[in-house]
Amino acid sequence: MPIAFEITIKGKVQGVFYRASTRDKATELGISGWCMNLDNGDVLIHAEGERVDLNALLLWCKVGPPKAKVDQVLNRETELKNYSGFRIKRA
């Protein structure tokens, strides 16, 4: 049964290909949704899929791509929107 997570990544996560790497990992896991940079330097992710796949994405988010320095990952379950595919949103 699909669920949705809202994930906020804090740290050095902009300018290090975090969003593109998130899109690749989400696609690999069969997760739909989006990610975007926030004005405060964080990355926001809306991810939908099976709990086991979302948990795998959360584990990946704690490390991110090679040049990222993740300080904190915040997660909460949120409303399912039934997105198709995973994309990078621009503010």
The per-residue b/e assignment along 4-36, b for 16 or more CB within 10 angstroms, e otherwise, is: bbebbbebebbebbbbebbbebbeebebbbbbe
The per-residue pLDDT for range 10-28, each reduced to its tens digit, is 999 999 999 999 999 999 9
Q: Is 23 a catalytic residue?
A: no
CA distance 21 to 79: 24
Q: Which of 37, 51, 76, 90 is catalytic?
A: 37
Q: How does strand 43-49 pair with strand 32-37? A: antiparallel
Q: Give the predicted TM-score (pTM) of the model.
A: 0.96
- The mean pLDDT of 34-51, rounded to a whole number, is 98
Q: Which amino acid is at 80?
A: L
CB atoms under 10 Å from CB of 55, counted, come to: 14
Q: Which two tokens stand for residue 43?
A: 């990355």
Q: Which of 19, 75, 82, 90 is catalytic?
A: 19
CA distance 61 to 71: 10
CA distance 19 to 7: 12
The per-residue pLDDT for range 52-90, each reduced to its tens digit, is 999 999 999 999 999 999 999 999 999 999 999 999 998
